[in-house]
C-alpha cells in the first residue's frame, strides 16, 4: 500500500504546474453580463389546480395534499467563474468550495431577492447585472430567508424562506398544516449555454413535480417536512442558458 501511495504522489508532484489560463468549459468567449428569470414549469399530471386557488398534489406515499397558500423566497441566482487551471491529482485531496457560499459578494449574482406566490407561480425577470469579462462554468440558485433586500416592499417573509398552508388527507386521516422555516437550500449545475455572445440569459425553471414526495406527513416532524419540500424543489430545478449579444 505504501509503495503504491508513494508512486501516486510522485506522479502527482512531478506533473507540470498548471497555467493561469482559465478552463473554458463554457466556450472560448468570456461573458460580461447576465439576465436572470425565475420561472415555473407547467404543473404535472398529478398536480391539479384547486377551484378557489392553490394546488392539489397526489404523492408517492398515497397522500392527497391541498396547498391553499404558499410563499417562497427566491433569493439569488448566480454564475460561478471557471477554475483557473485544469484539475490535477493534487486537487483530488482538496474538498471543493460550496458554490453559493459568497453569493452577495459574487459580481455575477443577482441582487434582488423576490417573494414568490406558490399558488400563482409567476415568471419574473430581474434587471441585468454587469461584471468584468469572465469565463463561467457553473450556474446556481439560492432559496433563503427574506431580508431587507427582498421585494416587494412590505413582504411578510422576513427571516423565513418558505411558508405552506393547507391540509393533507390519507385514508380516514385529515390534518391541516401551517408550516414555515428559516432553512435555506440551493441548486446548481454545470453551465450549458446555447448561442454566442457575451451576455447570458439564464432561466431558473422550477417545478411543482414531486414537491411532497417521499415525505410521510403523518409521522415526519414539521422542520423535516419543509426540509424535504425544499430538497424536492431543488431536485426539480433546471437551468436554461442562452448567449446573446445583449
Across the 246 residues of the chain, what is the mean pLDDT of every consecutive 10-residue run?
A: 47 44 55 97 94 96 98 97 64 41 81 95 96 95 95 93 98 97 96 94 98 98 96 98 92
pTM of the predicted model over 0.85: no
Alpha-carbon distance values, 69 to 107, 116, 158 (Å): 34, 11, 17
Grid coordinates representing 205 are 425553471
**What are the extents of the domains in the chain?**
22-244
Residue 9: predicted pLDDT: 43
Residue 232: predicted pLDDT: 98
Residue 7: predicted pLDDT: 47
Contact 235, 210 (CB under 8 A): yes
Dihedral sign computed on CA atoms, order 62, 66, 72, 74: positive
Residue 83: predicted pLDDT: 84
Amino acid at each position: 500500500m505504501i509503495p503504491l501511495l508513494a508512486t501516486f504522489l510522485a506522479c502527482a508532484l512531478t506533473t507540470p504546474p498548471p497555467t493561469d489560463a482559465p478552463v473554458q468549459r463554457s466556450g472560448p468567449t468570456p461573458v460580461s453580463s447576465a439576465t436572470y428569470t425565475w420561472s415555473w414549469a407547467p404543473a404535472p399530471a398529478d398536480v391539479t389546480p384547486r377551484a378557489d386557488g392553490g394546488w392539489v398534489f397526489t404523492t408517492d406515499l398515497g397522500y392527497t395534499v391541498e396547498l391553499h397558500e404558499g410563499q417562497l423566497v427566491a433569493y439569488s441566482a448566480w454564475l460561478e467563474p471557471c477554475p483557473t487551471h485544469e484539475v490535477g491529482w493534487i486537487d483530488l485531496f482538496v474538498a471543493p468550495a460550496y458554490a453559493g457560499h459568497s453569493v452577495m459578494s459574487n459580481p455575477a449574482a443577482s441582487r434582488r431577492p423576490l417573494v414568490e406566490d406558490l399558488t400563482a407561480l409567476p415568471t419574473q425577470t430581474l434587471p441585468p447585472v454587469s461584471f468584468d469579462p469572465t469565463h463561467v462554468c457553473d450556474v446556481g440558485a439560492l432559496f433563503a430567508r427574506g431580508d431587507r433586500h427582498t421585494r416587494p416592499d412590505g413582504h411578510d417573509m422576513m427571516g423565513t424562506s418558505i411558508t405552506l398552508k393547507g391540509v393533507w388527507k390519507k385514508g380516514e386521516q385529515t390534518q391541516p398544516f401551517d408550516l414555515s422555516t428559516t432553512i435555506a437550500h440551493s441548486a446548481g449545475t454545470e453551465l450549458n449555454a446555447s448561442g454566442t455572445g457575451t451576455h447570458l440569459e439564464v432561466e431558473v425553471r422550477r417545478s411543482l413535480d414531486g414537491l411532497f414526495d417521499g415525505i410521510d406527513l403523518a409521522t415526519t416532524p414539521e422542520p423535516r417536512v419543509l426540509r424535504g419540500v425544499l430538497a424536492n424543489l431543488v431536485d426539480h430545478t433546471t437551468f436554461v442558458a442562452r448567449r446573446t449579444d445583449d
